[in-house]
Structure 1
């Protein structure tokens, strides 16, 4: 399983149809003192008569030892991983802001901004260069959402302290999501699935913590009136 995960790490799976070539099929062909094992996208592994194993990478010209991917090669996670981290960070920051402002129009504005960012990524992740309609929609949504947020700030609905906490929450959520994948890429985590689960868990906990801090700091303390004491019944 570790070698299978290393294959996936070295040869990123872009589509479901490319899963099988990446798999280490483990088909052995034995002839006298030589064993050849198919090693998926890595090529083949050969056990020669001397008892030594050699990894041969697959090239256009055939198998070559120099083209074998290093066992310590960094992992290549898909491009949609950092994009998902950005979407999670933006959502966490906007939710934290919404917890501080607590106005329906601001919540709607935050939703427009998030949908705009999502539409932008949909516009640039296309088989062609980009999708102009998705990018135009992203521009309209972000402009509308930011305009409402600016109006809320002018009206004094957005506190500076809440804005700072929301920004810190967004940054923390981004790195909470990405750190497990950084660790997996460097080989500190054995399985991509573990990195995914950690990213989801850490991101969710960080986002909830940021919103909780905003809610706690936004609660106004009960006012006290000097000289006034509680009355007691006779």
Structure 2
């Protein structure tokens, strides 16, 4: 039944959701996920613990779907595991909870079959592929700015308009009262009652220029940094609205403000003091905004973590060392094929991912058998198992922080990742060497 649930996830999330997004395909995905999750979660327990796994699945699903805190936590975790992701709280998804009863019934029947756990393990590569599917989401884009009395309205395609009544300091969402009509954004504007001060967006770029002589000459007023441009490129790869699209200049007490419709990046505001601030997407619109793609860095982190795992265990194998090393390399390359192909290739890499999953599963099972058969030393095995998540965190977290702006420079993230990874590897090597010295030949 686990394999059947995985098949439903594959077909629904990779095909049906793309063709017919909506209530039915969304709930079908929840039902299939609840059918598969308890069996996979039970693998984390030393002994068979189906009831605990089922109850824990239901509790976590309820927390994620009924609270904003749970949804945000799930988004962060799933982003670390499967790339930029957004999990939304939706209480109607709790209608899928009865699927846990069916999963419990099917799991109970598997007690009378041979090696049900190994069936689940064999299905895990397909499961990883199935749950990594993403739904087609139309990203909002700020297209043009309109001034209506004391209101500043940023019109948004694919989302709710943003309205400010205090000169761009705060924003609220509002559905459009009238149907959309084709409208050309205002790309340049002069400050009312101050005709010599003008602003304009730079065609094809996310940048604003300023003129102090009524438009005779222009100079840069705001532009993105190199790192910000790289974040935008990774966030909206393949999209065409990665540039400033329109603006408006509004007089305010003490000066004037400028509000820019910054396309997919949301709203940009210059306050009366002359300070530019990227507002982005305030309120619920932030839920639809895309996140920076650091899948390549995550792929490297997973690959190095797998090397740490297999290398640590293999350092303590007393027999079959060469055979173990060969299967370890086979498993690591298969894992790298799973996590890296989608990041490195522009076309569909389904076949390569499946082959990589098979290689990783077979290599891992062979290494597990050889580690027990070769009487691997417990300390070195513990170093490998414990060091793998530390290596992943050391490599990936600095880039995850860079995606959020801290650190601001990509080069700094590279240095931090290299230093942290080196510390983990040196500590692991020291523990393995110390254990080898105590164990003797």
Normalization by structure 1: what TM-score?
0.65
**Residues 199 and 31 (structure 1 numbering): CA distance in 2 closer, same or farther, change over 3 Å?**
same
Change (3 A) 1:128 1:184: closer
Equivalent residue, structure 1, for 2:399? 181
Aligned partner of 2:350 among 131, 143, 147: 131
Q: Residue 314 of structure 2 corresponds to which residue in structure 1? A: 98
Is the CA contact (8 Å cut-off) linking 2:267 and 2:279 kept in structure 1? Answer: no
C-alpha distance in 2 between matches for 1:136 and 1:188: 35
Match of 1:58 among 233, 244, 262: 262
Matches within 5 A, 1:1-234: 27-32=209-214, 37=221, 39=223, 41=242, 43=244, 51-52=255-256, 54-59=258-263, 69-70=278-279, 76-101=292-317, 103-125=321-343, 126-132=345-351, 134-221=352-439
Q: Return closer, same or farther for 1:150/1:28 CA change in 2, 3 Å cut-off.
A: same
Corresponding position of 1:226: none
Per-residue Cα deviation, 1:15-49 (whole angstroms, up to 9, x for no partner): xxxxxx6675x754444499773635563888877
Q: How far did residue 113 of structure 1 move?
A: 0.9
- Partner deviation per Cα, 1:147-184 (whole Å, 9 max, x = no partner): 43133133243233322221110011111122323443
Query: Aligned in 2, Cα 1:211/1:71: closer, same or farther, shift over 3 Å?
Result: farther
Residue aligned with 2:316, SS: helix
Contact in 2 for aligned 1:82/1:178 (Cα 8 Å)? yes
Cα distance, 1:146 vs. partner? 2.2
Higher strand share: 2
CA, structure 1 residues 55+204, in 2 after alignment: closer, same or farther (shift >3 Å)? farther
Of the structure 1 ranges 180-189 and 114-123, higher mean CA displacement relative to structure 2 is found in 180-189
SS of the equivalent of 1:157 reads coil
Superposed CA RMSD in Å reads 4.0
Unmatched tracts of structure 1, length 5 or more: 1-20, 224-234
C-alpha separation between the residues in 1 aligned to 2:206 and 2:440? 63
Match of 1:227 in 2: none
Task: Judging by fraction of residues, say which structure has more helix.
Answer: 1
If asked which structure has higher relative contact order (CA below 8 Å, sep 6+), I would say 1
Indicate the larger mover: 163-172 or 72-81: 72-81
Residue 108 of structure 2 corresponds to none
In the aligned structure 1, how far is the partner of 2:405 from the partner of 2:299?
A: 22
Residue 120 (structure 1) shift: 1.4
Conservation of the 8 A alpha-carbon contact between 2:395 and 2:420 = yes
Aligned residues: 199
